[in-house]
Structure 1
Amino acid sequence: MITQRLFGGLGNQMFQYATGRAVAAARGVPLALDTRDTDRRGGHNRFALHRYAIDVASDPALPPDRKGRPLRYAAWRAMGGRLLREAGLGFDPRVMQAPDGSYLHGYFQSERYFAGIADTIRRDLTLTEPLSFESAAWQARIAQDPLAVSLHVRRGDYLSAGNHGTCDAAYYARALQAVTDRMGARPRLYAFSDDPDWVRDHLHLDAEMAVVGHNGPDAGHEDLALMSTCRHHIVANSTFSWWGAWLNPRPDKVVAAPAVWFAALAQTNHDILPDSWIAV
């Protein structure tokens, strides 16, 4: 069995699940999830994969809780507990060689971990419950629009998180031009944000734009489904919109993403953008 520790929001949890699933598949063993951190934290960082068709063991054999039982955790490590902590922010090839019985801990923010089972991951990360009436109406509209481009603006906690920072209007203008050039047509933008009023009032781009702002913080999975229904994508420096673009299975999709993912220059992940995406 491979055990994957979950922490962070929905986008981070998807990266962690996908990587753990890929390692477990390579070893031919089940995947277990350690949700204790997400169960403790709640809010934005609560366990968020329960709405998806994930394939996990129902009775995981977890190591002692590092925070709740630190002495037992230390003893587990001393007795050979197979903790594999991701080294740095880029792709760590050691992870894919993790043996059966490993406990994985890290962000794992790279498609390289699970590109080999992409179809499986997209199937696993399919919602098991219907969208709300309003989201279903938006999805039908987007699905019929050949010019649909999702655009994501992350504000909220990023306004005070010094390591991330927010994408400015100049980035979105450049990204729009890059997508327009690849499409050969003027996109129709569908904007998603944790601050839709700010988008309406402050983001003025040279394209028709509809702000999809009806979903609150408890319905991020619905926004993600709507993003992935769009033909093409403009993502923020956010794992949330990264997945909104990646879950779109179209091989001809155009995705523009920030070339600089972190405001803190000491933090760099050269592997976060798939090769086919446009770094802007």
Structure 2
Amino acid sequence: MIVSRLIGGLGNQMFQYAAGRALAERLGVPFRIDRRAFGDYKTHAFGMACFNAPISDAPSYLVPNMPGEGRFHRIFRRFRPGPLRLYAERTFTFDEQVIGLPDNTYLDGYWQSEKYFGDVAEVIRADFAIRNPPSAANLRWLEQIASTNSVSLHIRRGDYVSTPAAAAFHGTCGIDYYERAVTYLRDVTGLDLVAYVFSDDHDWVAANLKLPGAMYLVRDNDAASNYEDLRLMTACRHHVIANSSFSWWGAWLDGREDSVTVAPLQWFAGNTPDPRDLLPARWVRM
């Protein structure tokens, strides 16, 4: 059995799931998740229930570092198998050892690179198909996206702006980045593109973003239905992502070989962590 610890926003949860699922798939063993950390985590909720992914929780007696373990649990362990072998993330860059880890491993990290799961990409994409049909409003967006030369554009603000520590660590992509990215896509595709803009700060976007060509601001979804935005992003023909794991997945789940994704060259505000393995080589950095 392979177990992945899940924590963070939806994009982070998806990376953690994908790395563990891929390892279990290679080994031909069951895959389980550990979501206990969400019990006292106030920033984000567990969000994976929106997907077709076969979600199963790991048995508590197998999970290492069980919080609040008392005498009963210690006695119980004598009659059941011991905890899994913990493998914690050592660096933000790709760790090749993860690919060859053995059965009975517990993964604790973020694993933000497709190198952990690219060899089973179709399995991951199938798992991350949205379980429920779109709402009426989102169905109208999907129909419009399908009828235009669409490009998804994601502007991440939220805690990247409001929380000093997050702002200092992540930073935000400037308006000039989005303007250059859309101009580049228009030039390289030769098409009159229609931009569909997704954000956690719609009012700021409406007041500040001016793009060449047609632009629509998608306002119908909130944090509780963010998977709807993910589905709409993936439906677009091309992508301009923010320095955000959420829009990373919006672009990656679009498996069309001729789709073009533009990503920010500066992923973090500082020089660390090293994001060299975060962006697929086929994506354009700008």
Q: Which TM-score tier does this pair reach, normalised by the shorter chain?
A: over 0.9
Alignment of 1:218 with 2:217, yes or no, is no
Q: Partners of 2:41 and 2:83 in 1: how far apart?
A: 28
CA distance in 1, matches of 2:70, 2:258: 49
Matches within 5 A, 1:34-49: 34-42=34-42, 44-49=43-48
Give the Cα separation in 1 of the matches to 2:143 and 2:65.
45
1:58-69 to 2 correspondences below 5 Å: 60-61=59-60, 62-69=62-69
Q: Counterparts of 2:98 and 2:183 in 1: how far apart (Å)? A: 37
Shift of 1:67: 4.4
- Unaligned runs of at least 5 residues, structure 2: none
Q: TM-score, normalised by structure 1?
A: 0.92
Between the aligned residues of both structures, percent identity stands at: 44
Q: Match of 2:50, SS?
A: coil
What is the match of residue 54 of structure 2?
A: 55
In 1, Cα distance between equivalents of 2:64 and 2:100: 24
Does the 8 Å contact 1:30/1:57 carry over to 2? no
Structure 1 outlier segments of 4+, above 6 Å: 70-73
Within 5 Å, give how 1:50-129 maps onto structure 2.
50-57=49-56, 60-61=59-60, 62-69=62-69, 81-129=84-132
1:274 shift after superposition: 0.7
Quote the residue 1:33 is aligned against.
33
Aligned-pair distance for 1:66? 4.8
Cα gap change, 1:203 to 1:70, in 2 (>3 Å): farther
Q: Against the structure 1 CA distance between its residues 60 and 168, is the aligned structure 2 distance closer, same or farther, given a 3 Å change threshold?
A: same
Structure 1: give runs of 5+ residues left out of the alignment: none
- In terms of mean alpha carbon deviation, does 238-247 or 204-213 score higher? 204-213
CA shift for structure 1 position 181: 2.3
In the aligned structure 2, how far is the partner of 1:270 from the partner of 1:70? 43
Q: SS of 2:48's equivalent?
A: coil
Distance in structure 2 (CA, Å) of the matches to 1:254 and 1:39: 39
Secondary structure of 1:17's counterpart equals helix
Distance 1:7 1:59 in 2: 15
Deviation at 1:105, TM superposition (A): 0.7
1:238 aligned partner: 244
2:150 match: 148
* Per-residue Cα deviation, 1:97-143 (whole angstroms, up to 9, x for no partner): 11110000111110111111111111010111111111111111112
Q: In the TM superposition, what are the counterparts of 1:108-187 in structure 2 within 5 Å? A: 108-145=111-148, 147-159=149-161, 160=163, 161=166, 162-187=168-193
Question: What residue identity is the alignment partner of 1:50?
Answer: A
CA distance in structure 2 between the aligned counterparts of 1:257 and 1:9, rounded to whole angstroms: 19
Aligned positions, number: 274
Shift of 1:30: 0.8
- SS in structure 2 at match of 1:50: helix
Contact 1:165 1:262 in 2 (8 A): yes
Structure 1 CA distance for aligned equivalents of residues 252 and 53 of structure 2: 17
Q: CA RMSD in A?
A: 2.0
Q: In the TM superposition, what whole-angstrom CA distance separates every residue of 1:146-175 from its partner, at most 9, and x where no partner exists? A: x10000000001112121011011111221
Contact kept, 8 Å, 1:39 with 1:46, in 2: the verdict is: no
Counterpart of 1:8? 8
Q: Which of 25-34 and 174-183 deviates more?
A: 174-183
Q: Identify if the C-alpha distance between structure 1 residues 176 and 8 changes in structure 2 by more than 3 Å, giving closer, same or farther.
A: same
Quick check: 63-72 or 221-230, which moved more?
63-72
How far did 1:69 drift? 4.1
- Distance of aligned partners of 1:218 and 1:113 in 2 relative to their CA distance in 1, 3 Å threshold: same
TM-score under structure 2 length normalisation: 0.90
Where 2:274 maps in the other structure, the secondary structure is coil
| C-alpha displacement of 1:58 | 5.3
User: CA–CA distance in 2 between the matches of 1:192 and 1:81?
Assistant: 40
Q: Report the CA distance shift for 1:83/1:210 in structure 2 as closer, same or farther (over 3 A).
A: same
